[in-house]
Chains A and B, each alone.
Chain A
Amino acid sequence: MQSGTFHSSYSSDMGLRPYWPMRIRIILVIAIMLIFPWFAGRYWLNLANTIGIAAISAIGLNILVGYTGQISIGQGGFMAVGAYTSGLLAANAGLPMWISVPIACVFTAIVGALFGLPSVRLKGLYLAIATLAAQEIIIWVLTHGKILGIGESLSLPPETSNLFGLSLTGSTDFNFYWLIMGCLVLTVLFVSNLFRSRAGRAMVAIRDQDIAAQVIGVDLFRYKLLAFATSSFFAGLAGALTAHYRGIISWERFTIETSILVLAMIIIGGLGSVSGAIYGAAFMTLLPALLSNVSRAASGVFPAFSSYLPYIQQAAFGLAIVLFLIFEPEGIVKMWRNLKDYFRLWPFSY
Chain B
Amino acid sequence: MLTGRRWFGTIGAMLALTLLLAACGAAAPAAAPTTAPAAAPAGEAAPAGETAPVAASGEPIKIGAIFDLTGATADVSTPYSQGQIAFVEWKNANGGVAGRPIELIHEDYGYDVAKAEELYTQFVGENVVAFSGWGTGDTEALRPKITQDKLPFISGSYSAALANPAETPYNFLTAPSYSDQLIVAMKWAMEDWKAKGNTDAPTFAYLINDSPFGRSPLDDGTAFAAANGVATPLEVPSPKGATDLTPQLTQIKDSGAHYVFIQNVSSPASLAMKNAKSLGLDVQFVCLNWCANEQLVKLAGPDANGVVGTIPFSPAGSGAEVALAYAKEKGIDFGGADSSFVQGWTALSILVAGIEKTAADGKDLTGENIKVSMETLTNFDTGGVTQPITFTSTDHAGSKALRVFQVTDGKWAPITDFMTAK
Contacts and interface: CB of A to CB of B under 8 A. Distances in A.
B169 to A, nearest CB: 14
A306 B332 CA distance: 13
B144 A250 contact: no
A179 B21 CA distance: 36
Interface string B309-322: 00000000000000
A311 interface: yes
A153 interface: yes
Contacts of B210: 143
B161 to A, nearest CB: 8
Nearest to B136: A152
B212 A152 contact: yes
A247 B141 CA distance: 8
B143 A248 contact: yes
Nearest to B109: A292
B38 A153 contact: no
Interface stretch (A30-38, A114-122, A215-223, A295-303): A295-303
B4 A158 contact: no
B28 A50 contact: no
B114 A298 contact: no
B122 interface: yes
A323 B13 contact: yes
Contact of A50 (B10, B24, B118): B118
Interface residues of B, number: 50
A296 B35 CA distance: 16
B4 A152 contact: no
**Size category of the binding interface on chain A:** 35 or more
B418 interface: no
A310 B110 contact: yes
A153 B140 contact: yes
A316 to B, nearest CB: 10
A197 B13 CA distance: 39
B7 A342 contact: yes
Given A42-B121, A314-B70, A252 B31 contact: no
A81 to B, nearest CB: 18
Contact of B107 (A43, A296, A301, A311): A296
Given A153-B141, A246-B141, A296-B107, A335 B10 contact: yes
Contact of A250 (B3, B28, B124, B141): B141
Contacts of B9: 327
A276 B70 CA distance: 30
Contacts of B145: 247
A106 to B, nearest CB: 26
B125 A302 contact: no
A246 B117 contact: yes
A188 B266 CA distance: 47
A303 B35 contact: yes
Contact of B140 (A152, A173, A311, A335): A152
A251 B125 CA distance: 28
B148 interface: yes
> Most A CB atoms within 10 A — which of B24, B38, B122, B143?
B122
A328 interface: yes
B141 to A, nearest CB: 6
B1 A350 contact: yes
Given A299-B38, A300-B37, A349-B4, A252 B137 contact: yes
A214 interface: no
- Judged by DSSP, the binding face of A is helix
Interface in A269-318: 288-289, 292, 294-304, 306-307, 309-311, 313-314
Contacts of B31: 301-302
A250 B10 contact: no
Interface in A151-175: 151-153, 155, 158, 169, 172-173
Interface string B228-249: 0000000001000000000000
A252 B69 contact: no
Contacts, number: 113
A17 interface: no
Nearest to B138: A252
A42 B125 contact: yes
Contacts of A47: 118
> Most A CB atoms within 10 A — which of B145, B216, B219?
B145
A338 B122 contact: no
B32 interface: yes
A172 B13 CA distance: 40
Interface string B1-39: 101101101100100010001001000110110010110
A172 B137 CA distance: 21
B353 interface: no
A169 B147 CA distance: 12
Interface in B58-82: 69-70
A246 B107 contact: no
A42 B151 CA distance: 15
Nearest to B28: A301
Given A42-B121, A310-B69, A301 B32 contact: yes
B128 to A, nearest CB: 12
A192 interface: no
B121 A43 contact: yes
A145 to B, nearest CB: 10
Interface in B169-223: 210-212, 215-216, 219
> Most B CB atoms within 10 A — which of A246, A289, A320, A349?
A246
Nearest to B144: A247
B356 interface: no
Contacts of B215: 143, 152
A252 B118 contact: no
B115 interface: yes
A250 B212 contact: yes
13 contacts: A41-B125, A42-B125, A43-B122, A153-B212, A155-B143, A250-B212, A294-B21, A295-B107, A298-B24, A309-B108, A313-B70, A323-B17, A350-B4
Interface of B: 1, 3-4, 6-7, 9-10, 13, 17, 21, 24, 28-29, 31-32, 35, 37-38, 69-70, 107-108, 110, 113-115, 117-119, 121-122, 124-125, 136-137, 140-141, 143-145, 148, 159, 161, 210-212, 215-216, 219, 237
Interface of A: 41-43, 46-47, 50, 143, 151-153, 155, 158, 169, 172-173, 246-250, 252-253, 288-289, 292, 294-304, 306-307, 309-311, 313-314, 320, 323, 327-328, 335, 338, 342, 349-350
Given A152-B216, A250-B113, A335-B10, 12 more contacts: A46-B118, A47-B118, A153-B141, A246-B141, A247-B144, A250-B141, A288-B115, A289-B118, A292-B108, A292-B119, A298-B24, A302-B28
Closest 4 CB pairs of A and B: A247-B144, A310-B108, A152-B212, A46-B121
